């Protein structure tokens, strides 16, 4: 499998020319006027997710160049290498096979002759663990003595399960309460434990490595609290979800559900890390969640580029990041149950693609991961949407809406849908300030660099506090209903679009060396906070250390 970094392809130069001549001045409103079929051309139904990409600054010619870029960079071959079990996580020499966690046991597997792993063997292990974990989940659901489930984990061992349990609230058993403790800040664990009773609590210690200091510290404190408050049966009240079963056993936990090093932490909620989800929505609900993701996997694996939604989104991400120079993307789920989706996507995108060197370790001459951020609509509208409509930076927005609600409160859902439609529309169409007459080239109106906008000779009237420049891009993702299946598909879609942009950028999206330095320094500083030793520290750290130690 050969990968060619995006900037070393002919399509990259062609895209640069297209941007210089047309792309930088692309006008969405004009594009809709010129092409009555624009919505049809730039929208598609993928499994469980409908996507409207038509309000993005892209035309058919640019899209065709982006498909050329994907082909020249070897993205389809790279994708196939992942599905074939090749060790595409090159810095850790690991396969990347989270898709296998959602693959039904009766579907044949592809195994590349070059793969160092036997996928069929791994799939059998996946299903053996899944079956055991779902039996356990059902047992806990039926056990009315267990009223509270506390997941202790951080990063991928927290964000996915927490996001999904909240998102699937309508499917969650009312017979349990779910708590998620991630922060090493003791306030979080202390507040969680306060109303709990050991005899009614199940602790799930979730850690791929079973070494993460925050999780180990919280787990030790939870165990101490359990024993200090009369808890006796650790085997019944603690379970570990980890690839490092021996470490969990050494910690004193006998009930364990394993997974494998080919599952990245941020891709792990489909594994044993998903146990809180399985307890919450039941075995069938969890299987539906996996099935929805599998449908998206098959779409990504087999759909031609032109109709492949993760490919189209990943290519658009690169077009925006590297040609338009947009440095962030905002995500606005118009469903309050999706309120942790932005945090989940932050880790997915930024831990995967926040890299400054390519897979060969060479410094990259272009930008990679955008900053991802967001809040549920309509709350964001009354907070930061001001900046999205009238700020100096253009931030592509990704709306996620759900057609049919699960509640029957009259009026709410229509109002919610009207708002999400209105925001996408307003961002695009803009509005001139009636109080200010149009002045050709009067002031910069568009783009992250006002000087650039001036150079381009933007001619829309820019003046006036009530002027909305419009032409602000957005993508609209629509689910018919928020169910385990559709949530699974939505998340798999996001995983694969991150794969596509990472693949184009030539980086390894599956390691995270950038988190290591802080961990090492924290160990050192923990000792210094005890001893007061500031030798060799920089002035600021030494000053703060002294201040933190002062009585
Ligand atoms: O420090 C980053 C990280 O390794 C993430 O990639 C991971 O999801 C998180 O820590 C938690 O790791 P673990 O599941 O091994 O405790």
pLDDT of the residue at 462: 67
pLDDT tens for 161-197 read 999 999 999 999 999 999 999 999 999 999 999 999 9
- Region of 511 please: left (phi>0), alpha (psi -120 to 50) or beta: beta
C-alpha 117 to ligand 1 mean position (Å): 23
Which of 152, 156, 261 to probe ligand 1 with, by most ligand atoms within 8 A of CB? 156
Would residue 467 show up in a list of annotated catalytic residues for this protein?
A: no
Give the tokens for residue 271: 């594994």
Cα–Cα distance, 359 to 11 (Å, whole number): 20
Query: Which residue is closest in CA terms to ligand 1's atom 6?
Result: 265
pLDDT of the residue at 20: 98
Cα–Cα distance, 475 to 527 (Å, whole number): 48
Q: Which atom of ligand 1 is nearest to the CA of 516?
A: 1
The answer to whether 275 and 257 have CB atoms below 8 angstroms apart is: yes
406, 416, 479 from 410: Cα distances, Å: 12, 12, 20
C-alpha 51 to ligand 1 mean position (Å): 31
C-alpha 369 to ligand 1 mean position (Å): 19
**Cβ within 8 Å of residue 495, ≥6 positions away:** 98, 267, 348
Q: Which atom of ligand 1 is nearest to the CA of 214?
A: 16
Report helix, strand or coil for 205: strand
- Residues pairing with 148 in the sheet: 177, 201
C-alpha 514 to ligand 1 mean position (Å): 12
Cα–Cα distance, 297 to 414 (Å, whole number): 32
C-alpha 533 to ligand 1 mean position (Å): 29
Would residue 351 show up in a list of annotated catalytic residues for this protein?
A: yes
Query: Which residue is closest in CA terms to ligand 1's atom 16?
Result: 207
Give the tokens for residue 479: 């689910």
Cα–Cα distance, 333 to 340 (Å, whole number): 9
Q: Which atom of ligand 1 is nearest to the CA of 265?
A: 8
C-alpha 157 to ligand 1 mean position (Å): 7
Query: Which residue is closest in CA terms to ligand 1's atom 9?
Result: 155
pLDDT of the residue at 444: 45
Closest CA to 58 of 348, 372, 317, 284: 317
Cα–Cα distance, 61 to 66 (Å, whole number): 9
Number of other CB atoms surrounding residue 317 within 10 Å: 25
C-alpha 222 to ligand 1 mean position (Å): 19
79, 427, 504 from 314: Cα distances, Å: 13, 22, 9
Query: Which residue is closest in CA terms to ligand 1's atom 8?
Result: 156
Ligand 1, CB cutoff 6 Å, lining residues = 154-157, 207-209, 212, 215, 265-266, 351, 512, 515
C-alpha 136 to ligand 1 mean position (Å): 24
Q: Which atom of ligand 1 is nearest to the CA of 209?
A: 15
Tell me which residue has tokens 């925001």: 423
Would residue 382 show up in a list of annotated catalytic residues for this protein?
A: yes
Cα–Cα distance, 266 to 138 (Å, whole number): 25
Q: What is the DSSP letter of 89?
A: B
CB-facing half-sphere around the CA of 214: CA atoms within 13 A: 22
C-alpha 264 to ligand 1 mean position (Å): 9
Which of 89, 157, 207, 242 to probe ligand 1 with, by most ligand atoms within 8 A of CB? 157
Active-site option among 125, 197, 382, 466:
382
Which of 153, 208, 215 to probe ligand 1 with, by most ligand atoms within 8 A of CB? 208
Active-site option among 412, 431, 519, 526:
519
Number of other CB atoms surrounding residue 446 within 10 Å: 23
Active-site option among 351, 446, 485, 495:
351
Give the tokens for residue 252: 């004193």
Number of other CB atoms surrounding residue 124 within 10 Å: 12
For the chain, the 3-state helix, strand and coil shares in percent, each to the nearest 5, are 55, 10, 35
Q: Which atom of ligand 1 is nearest to the CA of 153?
A: 16
Residues of the chain with pLDDT under 70: 110-115, 436-462
Give the tokens for residue 232: 């006796």
Which of 265, 270, 519 to probe ligand 1 with, by most ligand atoms within 8 A of CB? 265
pLDDT of the residue at 437: 64
Query: Which residue is closest in CA terms to ligand 1's atom 10?
Result: 155
pLDDT of the residue at 112: 62
């Amino acid at each position: 499998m050969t990968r060619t970094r995006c900037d070393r392809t002919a399509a990259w130069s062609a895209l640069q020319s297209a941007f210089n001549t047309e792309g930088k001045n692309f006008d969405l409103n004009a594009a809709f006027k010129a092409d009555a079929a624009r919505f049809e051309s730039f929208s598609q139904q993928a499994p469980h997710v409908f996507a409207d990409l038509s309000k993005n600054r892209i035309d058919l010619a640019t899209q065709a160049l982006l498909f050329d870029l994907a082909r020249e960079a070897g993205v389809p071959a790279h994708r196939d290498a992942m599905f074939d079990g090749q060790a595409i996580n090159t810095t850790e020499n690991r396969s990347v096979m989270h898709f296998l966690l959602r693959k039904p046991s009766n579907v044949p597997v592809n195994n590349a002759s070059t793969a160092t792993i036997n996928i069929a063997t791994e799939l059998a292990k996946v299903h053996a663990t899944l079956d055991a974990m779902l039996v356990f989940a059902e047992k806990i659901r039926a056990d009315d003595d267990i009223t509270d489930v506390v997941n202790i984990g951080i990063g991928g061992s927290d964000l996915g399960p927490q996001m999904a349990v909240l998102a699937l609230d309508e499917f969650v058993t009312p017979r349990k309460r779910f708590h998620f403790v991630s922060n090493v800040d003791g306030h979080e664990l202390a507040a969680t434990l306060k109303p709990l009773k050991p005899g009614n609590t199940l602790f799930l210690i979730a850690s791929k490595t079973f070494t993460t200091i925050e999780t180990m510290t919280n787990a030790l404190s939870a165990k101490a609290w359990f024993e200090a408050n009369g808890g006796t049966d650790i085997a019944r009240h603690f379970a570990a979800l980890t690839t490092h079963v021996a470490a969990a056993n050494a910690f004193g936990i006998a009930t364990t559900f394993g997974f494998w090093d080919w599952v990245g932490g941020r891709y792990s909620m489909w594994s044993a890390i998903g146990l809180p989800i399985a307890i919450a929505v039941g075995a069938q609900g969890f299987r539906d969640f996996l099935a929805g993701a599998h449908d998206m996997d098959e779409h990504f694996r087999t759909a031609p580029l032109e109709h492949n939604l993760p490919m189209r989104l990943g290519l658009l991400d690169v077009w925006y990041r590297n040609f338009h120079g947009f440095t962030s993307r905002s995500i606005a789920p118009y469903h309050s149950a999706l309120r942790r989706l932005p945090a989940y996507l932050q880790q997915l995108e930024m831990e995967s693609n926040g890299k400054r060197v390519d897979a060969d370790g060479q410094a990259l001459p272009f930008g990679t991961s955008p900053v991802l951020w967001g809040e549920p609509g309509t709350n964001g509208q009354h907070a930061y949407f001001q900046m999205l409509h009238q700020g100096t930076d253009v931030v592509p927005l990704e709306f996620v809406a759900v057609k049919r609600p699960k509640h029957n409160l009259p009026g709410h859902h229509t109002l919610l849908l009207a708002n999400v439609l209105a925001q996408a529309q307003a961002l695009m169409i803009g509005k001139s300030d009636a109080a200010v007459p149009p002045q050709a080239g009067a002031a910069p109106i568009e783009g992250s660099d006002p000087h650039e906008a001036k150079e381009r000779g933007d001619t829309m009237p820019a003046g006036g506090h009530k002027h909305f420049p419009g032409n602000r891009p957005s993508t609209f993702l629509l689910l018919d209903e928020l169910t385990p299946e559709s949530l699974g598909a939505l998340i798999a879609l996001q995983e694969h679009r991150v794969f596509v942009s990472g693949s184009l950028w030539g980086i390894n999206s599956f390691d995270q060396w950038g988190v290591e330095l802080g961990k090492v320094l924290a160990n050192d500083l923990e000792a210094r906070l005890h001893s007061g030793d500031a030798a060799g520290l920089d002035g600021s750290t030494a000053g703060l250390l002294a201040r933190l130690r002062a009585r």
